[in-house]
Structure 1
């Protein structure tokens, strides 16, 4: 099956063609046809395939992970190439069956045969088609070596769907506690409360869903850092999306205020809080009493003069 083409071919025909020696392999990029598609390659085990800057490949449950955006290039009929939009690296399978990101598309290792399995798609390496090696992700999101994908037939690890490359059109808000302080992620890596309008740009937070049900993240729009609480109770800013310290769960207390708890330590009763002076409150002091002003939050709309993107103008004035 070729993108943009309703025609398809049998699996055996695909293998037979793949075994034909091609002297013009180094011209594969020149034969790429357009238009191309921007997608997420979603595995049946629940992961989007990512190509990272260091060439590593793995799965993620992050719906907005930039490394999960892939461009699908049509190399030939029924054959495709995947390019990481963020890294400009091409998905490749080496001689040991390992998936990796490489900068050079002029190699047969980056070409995969697309095979239809009902509603799903599988991708067999053209170079190693005779061995039955496929693109695959395990149940834990790690890459499954090609040598382990030929049997059993139609295993979940090799089955994928195309999902649209999600745009990060997410709400932006101020997070304000009952003392009137806005939570701010400063360029100095400090996290503190502020009532100063001059620093209001550091208080603009983008709220995104996490990889697990009912989890969210708070990103400082100006600093591109995420709010995080470590397993030792340290409140800090973090740039690594894969760090689960950046995950939070949110619920309402008896007074209707928003309570924010670290995902990994919610069972300890830890909460995010700011003191009367605007400093981060130790999580050990947020457990009792349950309804503290320091840990009671509300979302407030971002002012038009501090909003950093017109994309979110439609949410201004929303609660």
Structure 2
């Protein structure tokens, strides 16, 4: 399999060509603390996230409040993915709660402790033969029908610095007994990020700008949802609506031209926009203070812009 065929291949990012060794239901949009805040802020306030996987300094997060299934990777759940550095930086700015920055060695030790607890759980159910040694010393794999032991590197090999006090704490940990969430300052920062970066796509300008100018913010959000929905229907020919329309979009042939990561990033963007924004405003009149309104409008404009970028490529290809 070539690098470009790997499910975790991103192609060119702001940090160069990137790939991670993971086939996940969601991938990170970009690097940086602002992306971490925007990603967590794609869900409603008070949403808490748990880390369900952690590979190549990137974490897959699950919002269990919106569905938990037997498989933590089930695509019916609501996931997001964020790079360690973004979450740690956002935490140090007071924007994210539940994060505990770790050194590389501390992160590896915690990972092994979690693996040990998992294996001990299998022991207690009688799924593994009992031994007096550390359960991690019994790791191995089957190769050509033979059991081959696998030895983990010594933890000392994860010390990258001569002076441990100089080693950066840029690996993600979670405070024991807590989950990851945006703080109040994080939500304020989110509003500022979206307001600063607001760009109304050309397709929506004639409809949305007059609504903003007249202070009809909830109508602007509602109209953006309609425009996004209409655009997906034009790309698919589907008569569905809401989340069923989004899910059908990614189950059909319309998105086959996207990289696996690109399709899943767009899918996450549209699913959260529909479930947490479009659905709320589609049937309700809501008075919004301007900062929150501009944030929601910016959020929906970004979703539309991402869809437009894909749609324009599809139109060109056709």
TM bin, normalised by shorter chain, reads under 0.3
Query: Normalising by the residue count of structure 1, what TM-score does the alignment of the two structures yield?
Result: 0.26
Under a length normalisation based on structure 2, what TM-score does the superposition of the two structures give?
A: 0.26
Larger RCO: Structure 1 or Structure 2 (Cα < 8 Å, ≥ 6 residues apart)? 2
Structure label with greater radius of gyration: 1
More strand by share: 1
